[in-house]
Amino acid sequence: MEPPPLALARLRATFASGVTRPLAWRVAQLKAADQMLRDHRDAFVAAASADLGRPEFETVNVEVAPMHGDIAAILAELPALVAEQTLPTPMTLAPATSNASYEPKGVVLVLSPWNFPFSLSLGAVNAALAAGNCVVLKPSDHTPTCSALLAKLLPQYIDPDALAVVEGDASVARALLDHRFDHVFFTGGAAIGRVVYQAAAAHLTPCTLELGGSNVAYVHDDIDVHLAARRLLHGALTNAGQFCCGLDTALVHRSTLEPLLAALKATLIAWYGDDPKASSSLGRIVNTRHASRIKALLEPSSHGGTFVAGGEVDVAARYVAPTIVLSPRAGSTLLEDETFAPILCIVPVDGVADAIAFSAERPTALCKYVFARSKAVADEYLRNVRAGMACVNDCMFQGGNPSIPFGGLGASGF
């Protein structure tokens, strides 16, 4: 592997040469990235299965296919973004004219996570290349098969003088952060986000931090319980719950509680059968350390709630059953923190005001969700609960629209 100082020197020389600035070069990199995904679709599916036990339909529909759409959206907008803009000039400055243009920053560091090892790596890399930058990508060592695949394929498609893939553990990431970059893009948890932010501050390097938090949905009493059950569980169980936009807790109107619980249990059986562990539709936890963490979270003494479904954990197999916990204790880690597990907590509430009060006491989440036929109820919840993004009557799909800004607020990212 090329040592980071040599890689940085090489990329800085490339950027200084001006080769990355022309629109044609940027377009060529994006089209090459798109072709890489098409040429090696099966390899991406196999790598995600090896590291995450993820079913093919999830890798294709949540990672690979959306990246094609993102690249197409960037290609459509890029000519206008790189064009010089003419700005108004006040009469007091006549006969001067005023113009503005977007300039690339230089060499960008992308520190990507393990839960979506392809889309959350390539999404940032593609954006940086589209802006005319050079990139150092550090994939997560928790998904080593995916990391090795990116290290192998990217230099075959992307200009190798403008890209370096650096593999390794957390010590490698820390060593990279000792160097000066022109921008750092990090996706991960808040604890590591603070470390990245502090390291970047030493060089006054601007950052994009995509973090997370415990995402909550309010479920009103006018919903179709069967439709809502499927959508709530899709939000809680995609990628075995290892999703920053995923759903952790549903605040359910008391009058809807019993029929919704019945619909949730019926949906789990329809999706995974009587033995979810044998289902090919359910992924696995990334490693045994996280599986052990989740097992501790689900100990009844730690949360005080009631299991409606699931609760089983096989640490060695990295298996966590799709789990529904009713009324976990206020202040418990299960209820307060982002679980990153296939767990949905259910908390009965008396109405939208009660749901707003519950959410107001929590840190700002990445996403807020509300299920209601009443537009007035949905608007009231959205207006009074803070989060980076929102979706009404579904979960996570706001992240599938490249026209919608993606990001958190404060502790959930910026």
Is 336 annotated as catalytic?
A: no
Digit-coded pLDDT (tens) for 91-139: 999 999 999 999 999 999 999 999 999 999 999 999 999 999 999 999 9
- Residue 32, pLDDT above cutoff 90: yes
User: Rounded to whole angstroms, how far apart are CA atoms 359 and 18?
Assistant: 49
Q: What number of other Cβ atoms are within 10 A of residue 190's Cβ? A: 18
- Residue 376, pLDDT above cutoff 80: yes
pLDDT level of residue 382 (50, 70, 90 thresholds): very high
Catalytic residue among 146, 244, 245, 391: 244
Digit-coded pLDDT (tens) for 33-43: 999 999 999 99
- Residue 2, pLDDT above cutoff 80: no
- Residue 145, pLDDT above cutoff 90: yes
Catalytic residue among 63, 210, 336, 338: 210
**Of 267, 218, 226, 233, nearest in space to 365 by CA:** 218
Residue 266: what are its φ and ψ, rounded to 5°? -65, -40
pLDDT level of residue 184 (50, 70, 90 thresholds): very high
Is 244 annotated as catalytic?
A: yes
- Rounded to an integer, the average pLDDT of 52-75 is 95
For helices 257-272 and 225-237, give the axis angle rounded to 10 degrees.
60
Residue 178: what are its φ and ψ, rounded to 5°? -70, -20
**pLDDT given at position 251:** 98
User: Rounded to whole angstroms, how far apart are CA atoms 405 and 270?
Assistant: 34
- Rounded to an integer, the average pLDDT of 198-207 is 97
What value, to the nearest 5°, has the Cα angle with vertex 340 and ends 337 and 341?
115
Q: Specify whether the CB–CB gap between 342 and 282 falls below 8 A.
A: yes
- Rounded to an integer, the average pLDDT of 207-227 is 96
Q: HEC profile for the chain?
A: CCCHHHHHHHHHHHHHHCCCCCHHHHHHHHHHHHHHHHHCHHHHHHHHHHHHCCCHHHHHHHHHHHHHHHHHHHHHHHHHHHCCEEECCCHHHCCCCEEECCCCCCEEEEECCCCCCCHHHHHHHHHHHHCCCEEEEECCCCCHHHHHHHHHHHHHHCCCCCEEECCCCHHHHHHHHCCCCCEEEEECCHHHHHHHHHHHHCCCCCEEEECCCCCEEEECCCCCHHHHHHHHHHHHHHHHHCCCCCCCEEEEEHHHHHHHHHHHHHHHHHHHCCCHHHCCCCCCCCCHHHHHHHHHHCCHHHHCCEEEECCCEECCCCEECCEEEECCCCCCHHHHCCCCCCEEEEEEECCHHHHHHHHHCCCCEEEEEEECCCHHHHHHHHHHCCEEEEEECCCCHHHHCCCCCCCCCHHHEC
Digit-coded pLDDT (tens) for 303-356: 999 999 999 999 999 999 999 999 999 999 999 999 999 999 999 999 999 999
User: Rounded to whole angstroms, how far apart are CA atoms 316 and 142?
Assistant: 16
User: Rounded to whole angstroms, how far apart are CA atoms 79 and 385?
Assistant: 37
